Structure 1
Amino acid sequence: MRLRIRRTLAAAAALAALGTLATACQDSAKPDTPAAGPAATAPSGASASASAPGSESALARAQKHVQKFASCEDMSTDPKDPRLPSAEFTNVGKWGVTERGVCSDKTGHGEIVVYATPDMKAFQQAYKDHSEARRGAGETDYGLFSRVIVGKDFVVTPTRTKTAVALVDSDLRVLTCHPSYFPPDGYHREKALVEGCSLGDFVNSTDGEGSRNLEVPRDPSTEGPEKPGQPATGSLGLPSAGSLAELKKLVHPHSVDCTNMSTQDAAVRSIDYKPVIEGDPRAWGVKERAVCGDLAGERRAHNLNWLDVVSDMRTLQTRAKAAQLADLKDDGRLMATGSKLMVGTNVAVETNSPSIRHGLYQLQFLYLNCEPGFNAPAGYRLEKSLVEGCVLTNFER
């Protein structure tokens, strides 16, 4: 068995796209992502946020600037304003913040929290420290989907992704302090005021409303310039196994529980567990197939996952594409109980469990996605499949 297992933060980030598909806006709903623009790269001492006597407040100036690009109405500095997030990452007197307010994003149907700071470097350092602490506590994707947007002497955290995109189309920039974050080609990335953070105009998001990823799927067999976190071929490789026994050893117990495995009952299914392969598996290019889980007894069958050793991967992906498009045809959504096809070079796993798929992503399995127009945010794998119109990825909405 040949397997190249390299755990990446991109795979860990895939967990965010699964079960928590959010922390919804990862402190955006609780401000999680400060952004910073070119103005924020000026030396911290150069930005004078404090207001001179009788002059307009720094918060009011920030609101006027934001209003050039987004809706920011009814500004309030009341600490008990119900529009404020229930759990914020900072407040007045911390992180160099001198004023804080919240305004209504009436166009985007959300809110924007605005922080004024005369010391942008102090704010960025505090946000970096906060992000590292959250990741150290187990939130490995924290900060990857930053929605913290900074200017020269203020920071805004919109609750709506589309509003964040509108703001970075200006001179404001997203502040990101995640070690595995790299924007796709076509977007800018520059140094922030502290090491380990960057400023950019790409809004990374799992809700499909972030900045467009204009990169095309990479062909793992094609040599090309090395990508951050990727080898020169553009692929981390896919797993393989020579038999069902080897495949079981590979995935059990790291992801799929194969304590109970049966080849005779491989065609079993239940109302809650629908396999990808229907009918004779040989017609799908599969030479060996088994089912893991609890087959029907006192209870109906449950925890079902299927293992496949594949002799013709192109045929398997072609048949799986047709089945996926047929499922999407009715309402544009995949059946919740239907399994997703996770593929390696000559093996596959069929599962409808997000947690199992997360484990498989760490083993370098990728999901065959044939949804028209699908693309993945930066930081996730996106590679060509063997059939036109599909990609292999570790990102799920």
Structure 2
Amino acid sequence: MRIRTVIATATTLTALLTLTACGSDDGAYAGDIASVGGIGAGGDGNGNGGAPKKGNGLGIKGLVKAGSMAEATRIVGRYTKCTEVSKAQEGYDLGEGPDDKYGLAYSVTERGWCNDRGDTGIFLIKDPKAFQTAFKADVDKEYAKHPNRHVNMGFVIGQDFAVGSQSTDTMTAMLNAKSGMVVLNCHPAFNPPSGYRKEPALVKGCVLTDYLSEE
């Protein structure tokens, strides 16, 4: 099973962050990256999720920090079904799932899949800049082949973890005004509607935003 991450992040993201392809819990995918969008807390009913439009900046240090898989699970579980996690993706042996590619090259130190819904994965990150760099490379590869795909997609991230799901509702639910999570978008053509944030991430070409859409 492949995870839909917010990005619809790149071809290589065959699963997690294969960040999704379109709306609801149907598990459909567009390309190797799961694109997420949909109606959720803070959304407008048209597939657009949102965190608060006012307040402090969206810099990494202002995001929620987990520190462990157990705590990341609790954080995610406040907004969607995730009470415990498994080390292996549903339907795959340990280390053989499509999203197991997210490892040292992405500075991912641990992976877990919510048992309540096997379509949602959590990835602990040691070095946020290294993760964003790898993610940006995936997006650039996808952009070269399909420049109009997954423009408004990306991972939902905290300071030290990223989340991807096949369910767009799951992804947008985590953009709750108090969640401390935002979307990492690295698509060259990303340009959110007025009123949404678009602040620099750690890597040039990537931004932190409260806008997420399948379109």
* TM bucket, shorter chain: 0.5 to 0.7
Structure 2 Cα separation of the partners of residues 185 and 127 of structure 1: 26
- Cα–Cα, structure 1 residues 68 and 157, in superposed 2: closer, same or farther, change >3 Å? same
Q: Secondary structure at the match of 1:101?
A: strand
1:125: how far off?
0.7
Instruction: State the percentage of identical aligned residues.
Output: 30
Q: Secondary structure at the match of 1:168?
A: coil
Alignment check: 8 A CA contact 2:86 2:115 kept: no
**CA offsets per residue over residues 346-370 of structure 1, 9 Å max, x none?**
xxxxxxxxxxxxxxxxxxxxxxxxx
Structure 2 Cα separation of the partners of residues 104 and 28 of structure 1: 19
Structure 1 Cα separation of the partners of residues 100 and 149 of structure 2: 13
Give the match for residue 165 of structure 1. 172
1:204: how far off?
1.2
Give the match for residue 11 of structure 2. none
1:28: how far off?
2.1
- Which of 16, 23, 30 aligns to 1:24? It is 30
- Which of 130, 135, 141 aligns to 1:133? It is 141
Q: Secondary structure at the match of 2:147?
A: coil
| Structure 2 counterparts to residues 136-147 of structure 1, below 5 A | 136=144, 138-147=145-154
Pairwise CA RMSD: 3.3
Query: Are 2:78 and 1:72 aligned?
Result: no
Q: Aligned letter for 1:100? A: R
- Cα–Cα, structure 1 residues 83 and 146, in superposed 2: closer, same or farther, change >3 Å? farther
| Structure 2 counterparts to residues 81-100 of structure 1, below 5 A | 81-82=90-91, 87-88=98-99, 90-100=101-111
Q: From the CA coordinates, give the structure whose radius of gyration is larger.
A: 1
Query: Are 2:190 and 1:184 aligned?
Result: no
How many residue pairs get aligned? The number is 165
1:71: how far off?
1.3
Give the match for residue 156 of structure 2. 149
Query: Are 2:202 and 1:193 aligned?
Result: yes
Structure 2 Cα separation of the partners of residues 39 and 113 of structure 1: 23
Structure 1 Cα separation of the partners of residues 66 and 73 of structure 2: 16
- Cα–Cα, structure 1 residues 25 and 61, in superposed 2: closer, same or farther, change >3 Å? farther
- Which of 62, 84, 92 aligns to 2:72? It is 62
TM-score for the superposition, normalised by structure 1? 0.37
1:171: how far off?
1.5
TM-score for the superposition, normalised by structure 2? 0.65
Q: Aligned letter for 2:34? A: S
1:142: how far off?
4.3
Alignment check: 8 A CA contact 1:189 1:198 kept: yes
1:91: how far off?
2.2
- Cα–Cα, structure 1 residues 187 and 29, in superposed 2: closer, same or farther, change >3 Å? closer
Give the match for residue 242 of structure 1. none
**CA offsets per residue over residues 236-288 of structure 1, 9 Å max, x none?**
xxxxxxxxxxxxxxxxxxxxxxxxxxxxxxxxxxxxxxxxxxxxxxxxxxxxx
1:177: how far off?
0.7
Q: Secondary structure at the match of 1:42?
A: helix
Q: Aligned letter for 1:63? A: T
Structure 2 Cα separation of the partners of residues 152 and 73 of structure 1: 21
- Cα–Cα, structure 1 residues 111 and 48, in superposed 2: closer, same or farther, change >3 Å? closer
1:132: how far off?
0.6
Alignment check: 8 A CA contact 1:143 1:176 kept: no
Q: Aligned letter for 1:122? A: A
1:87: how far off?
3.2
**CA offsets per residue over residues 306-348 of structure 1, 9 Å max, x none?**
xxxxxxxxxxxxxxxxxxxxxxxxxxxxxxxxxxxxxxxxxxx
- Cα–Cα, structure 1 residues 29 and 39, in superposed 2: closer, same or farther, change >3 Å? closer
1:179: how far off?
1.3
Q: Secondary structure at the match of 2:106?
A: coil
Q: Structure 2 unaligned segments of length 5 or more: list them.
A: 1-20, 23-27, 37-50, 52-56
Alignment check: 8 A CA contact 1:25 1:159 kept: no
Ranked by relative contact order (alpha carbons within 8 Å, sequence separation 6 or more), the top structure is: 2
**CA offsets per residue over residues 130-155 of structure 1, 9 Å max, x none?**
1112222x122344142411101000
Alignment check: 8 A CA contact 1:143 1:177 kept: no
1:114: how far off?
0.5
1:27: how far off?
1.6
Alignment check: 8 A CA contact 2:172 2:212 kept: yes
